[in-house]
Amino acid sequence: MDDKCHVILFDKEVVLEETDQVQAITLQITGMGCIHCANRVHNSLVDHLGVVKAEVSHMTGAAEVIYISAKVDVPRLINIVAEAGDIRHTYKATLFQEGGAS
């Protein structure tokens, strides 16, 4: 980890007017080498209008994402993770499948 990698984690306030449309998924993410990478992915996810909450761990390579299905779908969540990267950081997400098959 170098000084240029530092990313501060942020949260957002959410009003859950569409609670019947809330979904939860786990994404497996490759490319996160430190806590700042996880923060970068987290911030990108929670910055999206349809994401309610995200818990991202560089240690497990997983992101638990709670989202409103009417506002964002799984392929878009996967793209958000990829778009969080930059010239030095490349992230790839896949939908977690029990048993390790994806």
Domain residue spans in the chain? 26-97
Q: Where are the beta strands (DSSP E) in the chain?
A: 22-30, 51-57, 62-68, 92-95
Residue 97: what pLDDT?
74
Q: What was the pLDDT predicted at 101?
A: 45
Distance CA 9, CA 68 (A): 21
Q: Which two tokens stand for residue 39?
A: 């923060």
pLDDT at 102 (0 to 100): 43
Instruction: Please state, rounded to an integer, the average pLDDT across all residues of the chain.
Output: 85
Decide yes or no: CATH 3.40.50.20 for domain 26-97. Answer: no
**Contacting residues for 28 by C-beta, under 8 A, at least 6 apart:** 61, 62, 93, 94, 95, 96, 102
Q: pLDDT tens digits, residue range 12-37?
A: 666 656 666 789 999 999 999 999 99
State the pLDDT at residue 17. Answer: 63
Spell out, as residue ranges, where the chain has pLDDT lower than 50: 1, 101-102
